[in-house]
Amino acid sequence: MSKIGVMICGHGSRSQVAVDQFSVLAEKLPALLPRDWAVEYGYLEFANPVIRDGLDRLRAQGCDKILAVPGMLFAAMHSKNDIPTVLNTYAAKHGIEVSYGRELGVDPKMIAAAGARIQEALDVANSEHGLVPMHETCLVVIGRGASDPDANGNVAKIARMLHEGMGFGWCETGYSGVTFPLVEPCLQHTTKLGYKRVVVFPYFLFSGILIDRIYGFTDQVAAKNPDIQFVKAGYLNDHDQVLATFAERITEQVGEIPPPNCAMCKYRTQVLGFEAEVGAVQESHHHHVEGQGASAPGSNVEDCRLCDSFCTGLCRLESQAAQHHDHSHDHSHDHVHATYPHADHPHGPESARKISKS
């Protein structure tokens, strides 16, 4: 009889608050799972323990069948490439069975959790500033942003479900990095629409540098548009419905027919604009930041020559440009990231250049 272990695979963060919040979620999950299942967690990059450490602990407890899940909202490069590489390598080395579940994805429970966070913010705003009709309120949903249109499209679907479900007058979707529109151009566009109130909701699991960026840009745009009331909604965190979705992603792996993951994956099917990536090698590129801690670009705004009160993303942009230049002269470089086809979009990461320190 196999002893089952559960491995929750987090992304990791340069923010200790985000790492702490993820660990709290992992500690709450066992109550929703069978009592005899062992539960551990680990991070892909930046933070400790790394995923291998969690797998080691499960193996030490006698687990020979491990149900792994990505601790992520949507399936992009980290959950499609990086985490499976770590899991497959570990399973082959130690001769144990490791299955891999779905990301949280577009799920009614996740939408309910998001709606609850937005409603909490609206209730406070109505109490402090008076009622503004929903038809005179614009919702802005900000997702992580990825080089994968499947993940970006899911953010847009979540936004539409919230827009239609709650009856907002209008809805815009933006992203914190990689794709477009980023937070600042998205919010600037929203100010032109004529709404009295704008609710900015980060569709994120935890706090961190990107949440600081979203709220920082919200404050900047709000200061320049005093006639519009900006409301900052809280992120998902450990909402009961988020925990319930995580538990389902684990337990469904031992069902009769485990559901497939990544139906719209750019590596499996031709997605408009990304056709060249069908069949591309899926491997991890994150060994260089595994367990690194808070020493990556953007982790210390006080010492940054580019950013002021929060990380705008310019440091990462310039770092990537420098790496690309170095790698173009280094034929020994052992992996290449696919080029995002709209990397030069004026409302994408390039928009950070106009708000740098003088």
Read off the pLDDT of residues 196-248 as tens digits, 9 standing for 90 and up: 999 999 999 999 999 999 999 999 999 999 999 999 999 999 999 999 999 99
Query: Using 50, 70 and 90 to split pLDDT, how confident is the model at 39?
Result: very high
At 58-102, the pLDDT tens digits run: 999 999 999 999 999 998 777 888 999 999 999 999 999 999 999
Domains along the chain with CATH numbers: 4-105+239-254 (3.40.50.1400), 108-232 (3.40.50.1400)
Q: Is the pLDDT of residue 277 over 90?
A: no
Q: Is the peptide bond before 181 cis (omega within 30 degrees of 0)?
A: yes
Instruction: Label residue 103 exposed, middle or buried (CB < 10 Å: 0-12, 13-18, 19+).
Output: buried
Query: Burial code of 316-332, b = ≥16 C-beta within 10 A, e = fewer?
Result: bbeeeeeeeeeeeeeee
Q: What is the pLDDT of residues 280-336, one digit of tens each?
A: 665 665 555 566 655 555 566 667 777 778 888 887 777 766 666 565 555 444 445
pLDDT band at 347 (very low <50, low <70, confident <90, very high): confident
Judge whether residue 180 has pLDDT over 80: yes
- What are the tens digits of pLDDT across the range 116-143? 999 999 999 999 999 999 999 999 999 9
Give the count of alpha carbons within 13 A of 13, CB side only: 21
* Mean pLDDT, all residues of the chain: 87
CA quadruple 203, 208, 210, 213: dihedral, nearest 10? 110
